[in-house]
C-alpha cells in the first residue's frame, strides 16, 4: 500500500501534482482543530474523482498515536461518501 501524505500546508500546486500523477486514493488525517480545512480538501479531491479516505481524529494527534496505530486506523477506514462529507459539515455548523 502506498501512502501520499497531505500536510497542513496544502496549496494549489500540491493539489495539481496529485492530479497530474493520477493518484487514485488519498488519505486525509488532520486533528480536530483543522477539520474545516480538511473537509474542504476532501471535497475538492472528491470532485476530481479521487477516492478520499477521511480519518477523523477526535482529541488525538496522528504523531502521538504512532505509526502502527495510525496505520491500523487507516486500514480500517472506508472511502468517504458525499453523505458523510455533508454530515461532517453540518456537525461543524452546529458546534
Q: What is the pLDDT of residues 10-59, one digit of tens each?
A: 677 877 888 888 889 988 887 777 788 889 889 999 999 999 999 887 77
pTM, to two decimals = 0.78
pLDDT at residue 51 in the model: 95
pLDDT at residue 84, rounded to an integer: 93
> What does the block give as the cell for 71?
496505520
How many residues would you count in the chain?
A: 95
What pLDDT sits at residue 50? 93
Residues 23-49, buried b or exposed e (16+ Cβ, 10 A)?
eeebbbbbbeeebeebbebbbbbbeee
Instruction: Give the angle 43-70-16 at the CA atoms, nearest 5°.
Output: 35
Amino acid at each position: 500500500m502506498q501512502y501520499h501524505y497531505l500536510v497542513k500546508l496544502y496549496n494549489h500546486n500540491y493539489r495539481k501534482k496529485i492530479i497530474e500523477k493520477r493518484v487514485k486514493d488519498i488519505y486525509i488525517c488532520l486533528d480536530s482543530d483543522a477539520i474545516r480545512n480538511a473537509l474542504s480538501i476532501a471535497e475538492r479531491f472528491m470532485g476530481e474523482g479521487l477516492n478520499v479516505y477521511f480519518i477523523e481524529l477526535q482529541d488525538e494527534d496522528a504523531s502521538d498515536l504512532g505509526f502502527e496505530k495510525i496505520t491500523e486506523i487507516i486500514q480500517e477506514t472506508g472511502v468517504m461518501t458525499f453523505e458523510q462529507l455533508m454530515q461532517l459539515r453540518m456537525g461543524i455548523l452546529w458546534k
